[in-house]
Chains A and B, each alone.
Chain A
Amino acid sequence: MNSMDLKDKLVTSFLAFENKVDTNDFVHGIRNEAIKNFEAKGFPSKREEAWKYTSLNSVLKHDYSVSFNKENVIEYKDVKKYFIDDTETYKIVFVDGVFSAHLSKTTHDKLDVCLMSAALTKPKYQPVIENYFNKIAAKDGLTSLNTAFTNEGAYIHVPKNILVEKPIQIVYFSTGSEAAAMIQPRNLVVVEENAHVQIIERHQSLTSNPVLTNSVTEIFTENRAMVDYYKIQNDNENASLIDSTFVNQQQKSVASVHTFSFGGKLTRNNLNFYQNGEYMDSILKGITIIGDKQHVDHNTLVHHIEPNCESHQDYKGIFADSATGVFNGKVVVEKEAQKTNAFQSNNNILVSDKATINTKPQLEIFADDVKCSHGCTIGQLDESAMFYMRSRGIAEKEAKALLMYAFSNNVLDSVKINELKTRINKIIANKLGVNMGFDL
């Protein structure tokens, strides 16, 4: 198998897929357009600037199953640890791409937290689908592929003035019932005027069989709305994830996306913010801690289109063993977008001689009255700090862990769900192999 074979397989299976899913004409048209687009563009290669440091060859070589029908039942007790548990939440859970009713807790009370497949087919959702679906998703090969196979995923619609207190968890499990599985989740999040919602998304493989997830999420944040989105990426060594997330913001809205990348074979995050209004804030934060031969690539875009807006990007990375990281952060400030404040920072620590990080800020500024800053650092652990800590009785391993903790710490400050913060802290402690006995 290579990427051409996989492409052919996908294109061929599209017809069968289209015939099977029940759909309306509007979505049907978009899917057909998308598969043509994928057929023309295919998978990205390293020859493309945006994919220079990330090769998909090793993940595209498997003979993936691309369609799933039957629900593989898993027990809650076996997967409890992948959920935020003490906090009351809504849940939308999928197993091998199929909705799992007994693991989920959906709602239609005041807001819709339900299935994409339902939203795509039932007439009552049609106006929302026609207004928002595929409106901001890009037209590159991978996103088009996902669009063509759009069927299942999370559908979240928060009407005007609704403050959703319970966070919403979206979890995708893979069980390995197929030798290799390619899953294409599609999420749509619409948050209307003055509404507020918090979402946690996780992809978790429960198998050592290869899993490739090509996920696309569209988020619409209308006037004065607030969205806090958290992505937990702590998958096993045979699972790869390509996540493309598109956020469209309107006047005075605040949208934040935190990406915690702690595992997986290959993880690519395409995170795109489009600011269509004034007085907005876009927050992009991430902590990456990986080792072995893991690869994490953050490819961000913040497009400042109108005046008086802010964006804050803060990505921290710790790379051990032969791990590789990429940060490519693009900020575009249009000519009209005066008084823009755009900040970007990417700091990295290489713990081993074999670890690599490629970091590249990319600023395209066409306005003249703006404040834009960017900074990236790559360093080792500070030897003088190490000696200082050790001379106070803190063993080398703990001293390293404490320094790394401290290094990534400020990214957690803005996490608003306490249980999630504690959980992330624990994952970090676990990754670093220590128990510090306190939360930083």
Chain B
Amino acid sequence: MLTIKDLHASVEGKAILKGINLEVKPGEVHAIMGPNGAGKSTLASVVAGKEDYEVESGTISLDGEDLQELDPEERAHKGVFMSFQYPVEIPGVSVTNFVKTAINETRKAKGLEDMPAKEMLQKIKEKADLLEIDRKFLSRSLNEGFSGGEKKRNEIFQMAMLEPKLAILDETDSGLDIDALRIVANGVNKLKSKDNAVVVITHYQRLLDYIVPDFVHVLYNGKIVKSGTKELALELEEKGYDWIKQELV
């Protein structure tokens, strides 16, 4: 599904990613962990197509198709979704209208008609229930005045609506209390299938108790320095990142 080969990326001339290799197959859950400043969020943004980042070399492809020449919206149409660490507030646009627009824009790109209103409403209801989202919440302006937890839940709600092939969850656990964390993780697990894949980016092991990864990678100083199974996450939690750093020296 997602293949990243020897990816080097920089922002404003500063090298952040220094040779990333990653292969994510359908049905898999990957966790990317690492200390602050390791390049985790940069990796997510580069895959989603943020223009502030300059890809110096290497390739990113989805199902064999090179993503690098595609605009962010085109990547979304191909099935890439990134849950933002800091979702943006858009006053004046309701959650419902935003989601409707996103879905219909994607359909338009695929040459499909708008989703019938009834089907849309049914889907909104179903996914809102899955994430235990109150109806009133849906008519509020997107992310405006939302608590940290509400913002993250809203991100996963959008993911549920858009049904991406590849979901990258960037620090989705930050700002969540334990109940919200459980709801969000439960939502992600329910959306999981053999045809899609999830990349969880996190600083802490906590989220991985709920979304159990098949593989764990440690990102440090722009490179994946260690890969393993879910036990690696536990080891990191116990020993901290210094252990990795020392091992590298």
Contact = CB atoms under 8 A, between A and B. Distances in A.
A391 B49 contact: yes
Contacts of A393: 73, 76-77, 102-103, 105-106, 109, 162
Given A390-B73, A437-B114, A398 B90 contact: no
Interface residues of B, number: 34
A122 to B, nearest CB: 49
A200 B75 CA distance: 46
B90 A387 contact: no
Contacts of B92: 405-407, 409-410, 440
A440 B90 CA distance: 13
A403 B102 CA distance: 14
Given A388-B88, A437-B104, A437-B114, A394 B97 contact: no
Interface in A417-440: 436-438, 440
A389 B77 contact: no
Interface string B91-108: 111000110111111100
B90 A389 contact: yes
A387 B93 contact: no
Contacts of B106: 393
A392 interface: yes
A365 B90 CA distance: 35
A384 B52 CA distance: 10
A389 B50 CA distance: 11
A186 B93 CA distance: 40
A33 interface: no
A258 B100 CA distance: 30
A396 interface: yes
A394 B71 contact: no
Contacts of A399: 73
A380 to B, nearest CB: 15
Nearest to B83: A391
A25 interface: no
A393 to B, nearest CB: 4
Contacts of A398: 101, 105
Interface string A307-340: 0000000000000000000000000000000000
Q: Which of B49, B77, B93 has the most CB of A within 10 A?
A: B93
Interface string A138-172: 00000000000000000000000000000000000
Contacts of B98: 389, 392
Contacts of B100: 437-438
A49 interface: no
Q: Which of B50, B91, B92, B106 has the most CB of A within 10 A?
A: B92
Contacts of A394: 73, 101-102, 105
Task: Identify whether the interface residues of A are mostly helix, strand, loop, or mixed.
Answer: helix
B114 A395 contact: no
Contacts of B81: 391-392
B88 A384 contact: yes
A399 B114 CA distance: 17
A387 B72 contact: yes
Contacts of B82: 391
Contacts of A387: 50-51, 72
B84 interface: yes
Contacts of B103: 393
Contact of B88 (A382, A405, A409, A436): A382
B87 interface: yes
Interface string A366-410: 000000000000000010110111111111101100110111011
A235 to B, nearest CB: 27
A102 B87 CA distance: 56
Contacts of A390: 49, 71-73, 76
B48 interface: yes
A392 B75 CA distance: 9
B158 interface: yes
Contacts of A391: 48-50, 72-73, 75-76, 80-82, 84
Interface string B58-90: 000000000000011101110011101001111
Contacts of B109: 393, 395
A279 B71 CA distance: 55
Contacts of B162: 392-393
Nearest to B93: A406
Given A384-B88, A385-B90, A406-B91, A392 B158 contact: yes
Contacts of B101: 394, 398, 402, 436-438
Contacts of A438: 97, 100-101
A26 to B, nearest CB: 50
Nearest to A385: B88
A410 B104 CA distance: 24
A428 to B, nearest CB: 12
B73 A396 contact: yes
Interface string B210-233: 000000000000000000000000
B165 to A, nearest CB: 13
Interface of A: 382, 384-385, 387-396, 398-399, 402-403, 405-407, 409-410, 436-438, 440
20 contacts: A382-B88, A385-B89, A385-B90, A387-B51, A387-B72, A389-B102, A390-B72, A391-B75, A391-B82, A392-B76, A392-B158, A392-B162, A393-B77, A393-B109, A395-B105, A399-B73, A402-B101, A407-B92, A436-B101, A440-B92
Given A392-B81, A392-B162, A398-B101, 4 more contacts: A388-B90, A392-B158, A394-B73, A394-B101
Those 10 A-B pairs whose CB atoms lie nearest each other, nearest first: A406-B92, A393-B76, A390-B72, A393-B106, A388-B88, A409-B92, A392-B102, A390-B73, A391-B72, A385-B88
